[in-house]
Amino acid sequence: MKRVPGTVNYNSLAASLPVNRDAALARDARSRDPWEPNKKIAQRHWSAPPRLPRRPSAVPDLAGRKFGHFTVVGYFGPFRRGSLWLVRCLCGDYETRKSHAVKNPHNCHDRCDKCRTLLFLRREQHYLRTGADVTIQQLEGVKR
């Protein structure tokens, strides 16, 4: 496609700007590279879904189950005493979780490591702004 002088390429503009305040926090302002946490992430993390193997017939199907901010996409592979499942976060990133984490009824605030870090950044900024410490449940109710 030929570019006309004086026009704006909205596709490159949209790709270069953060979508909202949380996305702005997630980007490094100096290099415009995606933000990566300083700590070593325990789970495998992808921005696009990887290829999945076939689920063995002995393993119960958990695909479609929702817990926390995740939706189970499919079977990822065996693990020590169970299996790993590929899950998709509300932000669109993919991670792996163990089967007992997927089945745990008390696991209602689970999210990917990037979303968790952004939540704690929001919590810290709320504390610096107001001087009041809030819980995760209260912070999720706060409008952005």
The span from the CA of 9 to the CA of 38, in Å, is: 34
Residue 82 token pair: 């169970």
| pLDDT score for 81 | 83
Q: How confident is the model at residue 138 (pLDDT cuts 50, 70, 90)?
A: confident
Task: Please provide residue 75's backbone torsions phi and psi, each rounded to the nearest 5 degrees.
Answer: -75, 130
Render pLDDT for 104-117 as a digit per residue (tens, 0 to 9): 988 888 888 888 88
pLDDT for res 126: 84
Model pLDDT, residue 72: 92
pLDDT digits (tens, 9 = 90+) for 115-125: 888 888 888 88
Predicted confidence at residue 30, as pLDDT, reads 46
For residue 87, what pLDDT band results from cuts at 50, 70 and 90? very high
Specify the 3-state DSSP secondary structure of 83: strand
Q: What is the pLDDT of residue 139?
A: 75
pLDDT given for residue 28 in this prediction: 46
The whole-angstrom separation of Cα 124 and Cα 132 is 10
